Chains A and B, each alone.
Chain A
Amino acid sequence: MSTGKHAKTPTNSGAGTRLTGAEIMWATLEGEGVSVVFGYPGGAILPAYDALRKFPIRHVLVRHEQGAAHAADGYARASGKVGVAIATSGPGATNLVTGIATAMLDSVPMVCITGQVSSKVLGTDAFQEVDITGITLPVTKHNYVVTRAEDVAKTIREAFLVARSGRPGPVLVDITKDAQQGLAEFDFAAAAPKPHRPHPMLKTESASILQAADLIRSAKKPVILAGHGIMQSSACQQVLTFAERMRIPVASTLLGLGAFPASHPLSLGMMGMHGEAWVNHAIQQADLLIACGMRFDDRVTGTLATYAPNAKKIHIEVDPAEINKNVKVDVALIGDLKEALEALLPHLPPKSTKHESAWLKEIESSKGEVAVRDIKNLPDSGHLYAAHVIHDLWRATEGKAIVVTDVGQHQMWEAQYYKHNEPRTLITSGGLGTMGFALPAAIGAKIACPDKEVWVVAGDGGFQMTAAELSTAAQEELDLNIAVVNNGYLGMVRQWQEFFYEKNYQSSPLRSPDFVKLAEAHGIRGTAVRKRPEVLPAVKEARGHKGPFVINFLVEKEDSVYPMIPAGSALHEMIRRPNRNPLVETADDK
């Protein structure tokens, strides 16, 4: 991506304009197309805050800097634009770190700006001085220290280029107080970054394209592995064309959900640790895997020794360091996914439907009874399961809401029961698995997409990690719906303890405040739901309500996510839901 199309002329710009570093900072952000930032002020960044009023940029005051980073992340994931978080030096900067690492592991484009002590006292352990570029070195794509006002514009512009180019990621710019206060000439255009250096390892050579096309044409049991990169590269249409033309079923990673419509007949669903049996079986049986913008993370491969043993592998990936990292591949197309698929498609004549049916039928038949995920008409056993909650939420929102999850069992249930048909509608921390992500990220997502319905789905544990951001949602008067899936446990930890630690529930039960009262204390409406018939009315009430709304779903305490592949096991060695569980019943509403 080039910066050119994002750039617009800032309020104060042009050769000969002299501004403070702080003013240059905002003017440059404006020029990069930024209209909202998430932040928290403090001494070392005060010059910047003082200058903010002169610029058409909205500042969302979070309640903890981790929230600022997650909000910027959620904003970026929902919009595809670069999210911006701002914090002061020292503790403000260190509070960003978890959010930066979360964005790094999921390749989210983000620019964090931190204040720093004056360059004259750098390195002296001055008040609130920390080496934030040192601390964030391994969790940023790149970072910078700026000590002079004249370097502010070009550094921020370069940071945006780095954040959004190639495999996107977070970039941190640490600006000393004197750089914010100093005067310099501001010329937005002249501060344009140099073009990115050519990357000699990026190559989708025509020989490899032909080789890939050969493999695809002759495959009998192919599977497309759809990852986050499809959204990053805006290649949803190309993947759809590819799958439909060649009649290839599509399995998704957690972060890939939504890139390929869940309701499409060729969609298999989520692969990996909590993927459905038939999805993982299809991968194990396949003779060809075409990995599109995914990185064979250990949560999706299980043990590598037995991963897809009969399959040739084609890896289409923008980051050369991912090639052959976990899984050895036969053909690598290294570069932008959309471009690679566009180069590939002309070599793929539409497949006759003869071969297709055998493989697709094989998968279909392996679904069997367990395929039933539609639980609308389940008899009401008096229990409220998280699956009910997610299922009803999906029905009520017609699968069109942006759902931002936290991390744990509820996250996996969301992935299993909410069918995402559109890209960027599931926002979740995959790589780092950061509890506390959901609420602040949803604030960012809602601000990015004010016309979209946004739901938080969080556990009782993770919700409490960043619940202070309820105040932010209230202050910003965001129309945000918050579903707390309250099972009284750090549920995913409890599940592992049940399966692998002889039910030694050490430190996993947790007592929570009354979330409805907590909401009310923030001036936010809330309601509790204990029974299945109460789910839809509560969801309806939340949807109709203007402003934030919290629903405390008091669900079955000791339910587990099935199926489950224990970490380090083979993809086909899964723990299945015990028999006669009320959640496995016959489908009704086809």
Chain B
Amino acid sequence: MLHTFVALVEDKPGVLTRVASLFRRLNINIVSLTVGHSERAGVSRMTIVCEASPTAGHRIAASLYKLENVLQVDDIGQLSHVARELALIKVAATPQTRSQVFELAEVFRARIVDLAPESLMIEITGVESKIEGLIQVLNEAGDRILEISRTGRMVMRRGQHTSKVLDAMRVPGVETIAEFQAEEDSAAPSDLLMAEETGL
């Protein structure tokens, strides 16, 4: 079963190795791992997707907490969340065959971000299945895919949810966070957002 964890970690050298090494030690394969800055200075945010037995979630989260640089772990599990992935796909296309690719890209609400005489590049954002769908139709249409670069899944929980651990530690976040939450509370997730989520 696929597990998804969001980990807030200290932004220091070697932290990624520690996290990766933990999964290696547990003999668990990481499916995807994305890291970037979070809303707090000095704190990075990782989304880790891994394949493990359905009951492994507790042990993985607890083991992550054993790493001194890991500040907060969220086992996303069934929690309501938004998941996204970004992919760049380079397709072989000449001026004669381009328009067919344009059409497919449009259906998937993808964008063309580079055009060259022999190829073009598509940028697509969405849930994994949407990206895989585009790859599939490109293949089926006989368009030769030259390169694919995918970020792996990023997730964020819906609704008001911030790190209690970091708040307790008084790790400062973005200043506007309080106003932001107030807005979030009143606005129910719009139909449009939900539609995007389930997307193609």
Contacts and interface: CB of A to CB of B under 8 A. Distances in A.
Contacts of B58: 320, 323-324
A198 B21 contact: no
A580 to B, nearest CB: 47
Interface string A462-482: 000000000000000000000
Contacts of A200: 65, 72, 164-165
Contacts of A120: none
B168 interface: yes
B169 A138 contact: no
Contacts of A320: 58, 62, 65
Interface residues of A, number: 19
B104 to A, nearest CB: 45
Contacts, number: 44
Interface string B55-67: 1001101110111
B61 A324 contact: no
A201 B63 CA distance: 11
Contacts of B18: 137
A169 to B, nearest CB: 9
B interface majority secondary structure: helix
A194 B63 CA distance: 22
Interface in A323-337: 323-325
Nearest to A133: B14
A320 B64 CA distance: 11
A321 interface: yes
A260 B168 CA distance: 38
B179 interface: no
B198 to A, nearest CB: 31
A199 interface: yes
Interface string A297-332: 000000000000000000000011101110000000
A142 B66 CA distance: 9
A197 B21 contact: no
B59 A324 contact: yes
Nearest to A325: B59
A321 B63 contact: yes
Interface string B12-44: 001001100100010000000000000000000
12 contacts: A138-B21, A138-B25, A141-B68, A142-B67, A197-B71, A200-B65, A201-B61, A201-B65, A319-B62, A320-B65, A321-B63, A325-B59
Given A141-B66, A142-B67, 9 more contacts: A197-B169, A198-B168, A201-B62, A320-B62, A321-B59, A321-B63, A321-B66, A323-B62, A324-B59
List 6 tightest A-B contacts by C-beta distance, closest first: A321-B62, A320-B62, A142-B68, A321-B63, A198-B168, A197-B169
Interface of A: 133-134, 137-138, 141-142, 162, 194, 197-201, 319-321, 323-325
